[in-house]
Structure 1
Amino acid sequence: MLTLRLDGALTVDNEPPADLLITGKDRDPVALHDADGSVAAVLGALRRPSTWQQLHEQVPLGEGKLDVLIRRLLVTGVVTLGCADEHGDVATARFRSRLADVRPDAAPAGDQLVQLSPYALLRRLDDRAVVESAHDGTIVELHRPALAAVVAGLCAPAVAAAAAGHAPGGEQLLRLLAAVGLVIAPGPETGRPPHAVWTHTRSRNGLVELRTVAPGALDEPPAEPAAGTDIALPVPDLAALRRTDPPLAEVMETRRSVRRFGGTPLTLTQLGELLHRVARVQQRLPADPADDRSYAFTLRPAPSAGAMHELDHYLTIRACEGLAPGVYRYLPDRHALAVVNRDPVPLVRLINAAYLALNRVSVPQVLISLAARGDRTTRKYGDLAYSLTLRNAGVALQSVYLCATAMGLGACAVGSGDAADFAEATGLDPAEVSAVAEIVVGSLPGEDV
């Protein structure tokens, strides 16, 4: 049976306006809103391990509300999902992403064919054997070494009852692995190559698997129609910049990562100049009708493998003179910003994550997230696509660094990120568009007026 329990020794404090602040050793604090007391009721009931059904009986909430709350506690790491038999604990699952899929009713029938997910990895963690998901970072700890035989037996399609028979507790382990998506029905493999997904999940948190797309045209998609909410950006005088910009050698010698920013925010004019210099569409070139491998593409200040330009610039604005706080998308074809979200909650989450990644030195004024449309490069480069996207992201980050230095601004690449935060802020499907890199930009300290 599957059981729910609190993860380790946790301390729960009342902390308005979050209502509950949950802390514990070697873990980040979790703040949860609890206006009706339902969170406290569930946490109280889980002082002793309970099954999903038992929890429904102990904490009667409205239909569907308890399931949503349990999933929230699971994916924030407050509660673990485990399984046991008459001999004790069999395995425990811990989640890393708020977008992780949890399906407690996914137990396979005894005569059903099952197979290990291609994104599952059986490995050693300290002195324990674990099965880890590249898809969302979920880790299932095996409490008995013999259970590794059950996992290994699922490399080829097998009848569930036969696979479970490789070790005591195998049936319960199979149920848990199915509940977290690590055991699936056999079938054609879809999705990104496992090596690409593992690369991504080691660089950031959150759901990372991008869907495989059917073959299609490589032409760069046409510009989206102008919207009434688009914000035109100031266009810099490039001729003047050629005369006044510092030499490239000086810019490269003086470039440094800046984590402390000035009290006066950068301006909309400065932001427009930065984006114009690093990301705008300079020219559109049509496909060559004499070459069936040719496709329409664009030229931009920063290069991109195959001129795919699959990276979009999303800006989270906390402080910029002339621009309201919010999340925006840069439109490189017409040098404008599209309003994506002005809800302060996802904005604060993105800015705070960058602030923590910068060692809490200074709250960022502007965060630029590079979001990859995975199908663009996959159509042309197949398994090489993700590695090329990371190289393209490195080029884009360095372009921002050099331009910011030339402009007298500060910039610092962010060493971590969360695909779930970005997906919630933008409303984008993380299986189609996923943030792969971030950089913060702001005024230099001492530039205040």
Structure 2
Amino acid sequence: MERFKANRDFLKTDFTPMKNRKPDRALEVPQPPLVKDYDKTSTIIELPKVSEDILTNNNILKCIEDRRSVRLYDNSPLSLKELSYLLWATQGITKVSDNNTFTLRTVPCSGATHSFETYLFIINVEGLSQGIYRYLPLEHELLFIYEIENIENKINDLTLEQPFVPKFASKASVVFAWSTVPYRSEWKFDVTAHKKILIDVGHICQNLYLASESINAGTCAIGIYDQNMVDNILKLDGENEFTIYLAAVGKKVIK
């Protein structure tokens, strides 16, 4: 049982390390940017405005009741409007503070630090080439990063051996990949930030599950993946920004 002790202790709440130290925020170190910057000359895709007419099921009780991890998808693509809705439901910004120091979003987050960036492995979405994209939450737009031919093979490689349905992620329409920029939370919470980051990414994925359910799509979270491979594909340094969670989304098979 000793081999479990360190990770079990990490799961517990312990603020004693903060008694004799101050986070960078208290030391008046400049706050990190709210979102990751990008080259303004890049290819940008405008996302459709989110509206309730996209919903096939607006009964939240039914969405919660029917939510399952879905690993079987049909061949029909997600529409750009559906993808827009899923992005907004998971990281959409509903308000920027007057002094531009924090954002309020569609998911809760410790201290409104929102350390996450959303990347997409686009497989089968109407109007989009297969490849890697990043969501720009302030603008509600997509940043095209680069195209990948035979992206399904790449996804099979990086998602390793899935225990229930092998290679299911490559048959989805899109794979969400959330990275964290830890310093956004560390700046405010110092060494206590990291448990908060793990809690907060769970909020994001649950919103994806429920939003998918409301448009007759299915989601399956993925915790088994090749860390270095995903970080390299997304061009992350693996230290100041790295992948923390994946999830596949596709239209449900009609039974």
* TM-score, scaled relative to structure 1: 0.47
- Size of the aligned set, in residue pairs, is 234
- Unmatched 5+ residue regions in structure 2? 11-23
Q: Which residue of 1 aligns with 2:166?
A: 360
Q: CA deviation at 1:218?
A: 3.2
CA distance in 2, matches of 1:382, 1:347: 39
Q: Which residue of 1 aligns with 2:243?
A: 435
Amino acid at match of 2:228: A
Amino acid at match of 2:31: L
Q: CA deviation at 1:345?
A: 7.3
Q: CA deviation at 1:361?
A: 6.0
CA distance in 2, matches of 1:276, 1:234: 11
Between 1 and 2, higher relative CO (CA 8 Å, sep ≥ 6) is seen in 2
Q: Which residue of 2 aligns with 1:326?
A: 131
Aligned 1:126-165 pairs, distance under 5 A: none
Q: Per-residue CA shift, 1:3-32, capped at 9, x if unaligned?
A: xxxxxxxxxxxxxxxxxxxxxxxxxxxxxx
Q: Which residue of 2 aligns with 1:236?
A: 50
Aligned residues with identical type, % of pairs? 25
Q: Per-residue CA shift, 1:26-63, capped at 9, x if unaligned?
A: xxxxxxxxxxxxxxxxxxxxxxxxxxxxxxxxxxxxxx
Q: Which residue of 1 aligns with 2:95?
A: 283
Amino acid at match of 1:435: T
> What secondary structure does 2:93 align onto?
coil
Whether 2:222 is the aligned partner of 1:409: answer no
CA distance in 1, matches of 2:115, 2:46: 22
Contact map agreement 1:354 1:364 (CA 8 A) in 2: no
Q: Which residue of 1 aligns with 2:108?
A: 303
CA distance in 1, matches of 2:142, 2:54: 23
Whether 2:80 is the aligned partner of 1:263: answer no
Give the counterpart of 2:186 among 378, 381, 397. Answer: 378
> What secondary structure does 2:193 align onto?
helix
> What secondary structure does 1:436 align onto?
strand
Amino acid at match of 2:214: A
> What secondary structure does 1:413 align onto?
strand
Q: CA deviation at 1:372?
A: 0.2
Query: Cα 1:433–1:283, aligned 2, differ >3 Å: closer, same or farther?
Result: same
CA distance in 2, matches of 1:385, 1:232: 33
Q: CA deviation at 1:355?
A: 7.2
Whether 2:242 is the aligned partner of 1:446: answer no
4+ runs deviating over 4 angstroms: none
Whether 2:177 is the aligned partner of 1:369: answer yes
CA distance in 2, matches of 1:418, 1:286: 40
Query: Cα 1:384–1:350, aligned 2, differ >3 Å: closer, same or farther?
Result: farther
CA distance in 1, matches of 2:64, 2:118: 23
Aligned 1:19-58 pairs, distance under 5 A: none
Q: CA deviation at 1:353?
A: 3.2
- Unmatched 5+ residue regions in structure 1? 1-122, 125-194, 200-212, 288-294
